[in-house]
Structure 1
Amino acid sequence: MKIIADTGKCVGAGQCVLTEPALFDQSEEDGTVIVLNAEPDGDLVEKAREAVHVCPSQALSLED
C-alpha cells in the first residue's frame, strides 16, 4: 500500500498528523501535508486508513 497526498487539495487542518505523527508532518511554510513514510506496514497501515478517512479536504488516498 502507498499513501498519496495531493498538496493542492490540502487545507492544512493537521488531522493526519494528529492521527499518526510517524506517517505525517506539516510544511512549516504553508501547513500542507508531508508524508514521512509513503509505504507503511504493520499497525501503521490501519493508521494510514484512518488518516485518509478523517482528512477534511480528501487530500489523502491509498493505492494498493
Structure 2
Amino acid sequence: MKKTVVTESEYKKIMVRINELTSGDPDELPDELLAELDKLTNLANNYENDHGWLSLTNHEKADGRTP
C-alpha cells in the first residue's frame, strides 16, 4: 500500500526532514538515508501534485520568469 501525505502538517514535517537530510555533503549520506530521502521526496511531490502546487522549476518554465 502506498503511503500518502494527508495533511499540511505531515507535509511540513516531511519538508523539515528533507532539509535535514540535504543540509550536508550528499556524498556522505549513507544508503539508508538516501532511501529515506527518496521516499520523502516522492511523498512531498505527490502532496504538491495533489494540491495543485508547482515546483519552482515548473513555475519558471511555465511563465518564463523567476520569482
TM-score range, shorter chain: 0.3 to 0.5
More strand by share: 1
TM-score (norm 2): 0.35
Q: Which has the higher contact order (CA 8 A, sep 6+)?
A: 1
Give the number of the structure whose alpha-carbon radius of gyration is greater.
Answer: 2
More helix by share: 2
TM-score, structure 1 as length reference: 0.36
